[in-house]
Amino acid sequence: MSKMMTYGEAIREAMSIRMREDPNVILFGEDVGAFGGCFGVSAGMIEEFGPERVRDTPISEGAIIGAAVGSAATGLRPIAELMFNDFLTVGMDQLVNQAAKMRYMFGGKISLPMVVRLPAGAGTGGAAQHCQSLEAWLTHVPGLKVVYPSNAQDALGLMLTSIDDDNPVMFFENKTLYATKSEVTSFDPIPLGKGRIALEGDDLTIITYGRQVFTALNAAKELAADGIKAEVIDIRSLFPLDKDIIRESLEKTNKAIIITEETKRGGYGGEISATIAEEMFDLLDAPVARIGSLDTPVPFAPNLEQYYMPNERDIVVAAKKMF
């Protein structure tokens, strides 16, 4: 069965599928009920599943994450939505010092099957406190899994897998993608730790995820006009990371550009670059190029916000330096 769906609809469909199958799957967060979520992702779910399973919470991210940890440890499979990933800072103690550690500290005798939904990224005019990309913080914490889909198919399949996982999964959702439509041909789970080739090529490897997949694809079109065939890898899962797909691509291209929307300093792009340097250095014909946002809080003014974020021109300039 094939169906055109938006990114947001695909996330809702995946949550609804699992909630129909398992009464222990619940959703809660600020305004996820009657309002349908800040970005409309959970619209209609309270009518189908009722206020006991689709719950509005107080404005307290510490309470939301704490409730997810407690309910997951005692038999439920919660999906906790934070309105913006920026607000995760308020719940970091519950997440980093409790959720990420409990299964390990109890010798595997309990499970923590919880998903934390994290709308992220700039481009909406939300400014410095509502538009950050903080995924690198969470990839640093043992005990957490981190995924970041770029399209409806991957959003649906990865959400199904995330709900099924017995460990805490951090599910990043780029806010600018919610309304983007694409074809969904499968309603099956997509394994974590498996990237995909978004575009095949044999001259250059561009490694990315989330919204920047489309930036990379646009840059690849421009490079193709100059005779450079770029391969675009959408890693989809930041941890676990699909190292094999990166290695197989570099065996063909011998050149790599990494583009992420996060601030370049201390970003996850640096982790990918270090992995390539440590484990695949013999495949490289040029230094790895790393592209990210500028080292500043996200500006409010639209022109400054666009200047802050990476773009196609950054990739093209970096690529042409390699040839």
Asked whether 268 and 260 are in contact (CB, 8 A), the reply is yes
Q: Burial, 285: exposed, middle or buried (Cβ in 10 Å; 0-12, 13-18, 19+)?
A: exposed
What span, in angstroms and rounded, lies between the C-alpha atoms of 312 and 323? Answer: 17
Indicate if 140 belongs to the active site. Answer: no
- Residue 251 vs residues 34, 199, 203, 230, 235: alpha-carbon distances, Å: 51, 16, 10, 13, 17
Asked whether 267 and 280 are in contact (CB, 8 A), the reply is no
Q: What's the number of CA atoms in the CB half-sphere (13 Å) around residue 27?
A: 33
Residues in the chain: 323
Edge-to-edge strands, sheet with 25-29: 54-56, 25-29, 77-81, 115-120, 169-174, 145-147, 237-239
Nearest in space to 122 (alpha carbons), one of 258, 9, 262? 262
What span, in angstroms and rounded, lies between the C-alpha atoms of 239 and 169? Answer: 9
Q: Burial, 65: exposed, middle or buried (Cβ in 10 Å; 0-12, 13-18, 19+)?
A: buried
Question: Amino acid letter at 50?
Answer: G
> Percent helix, strand, coil in the chain (nearest 5)?
40, 20, 40
Q: Which of 77, 103, 130, 145 is catalytic?
A: 130
Active-site positions read: 130
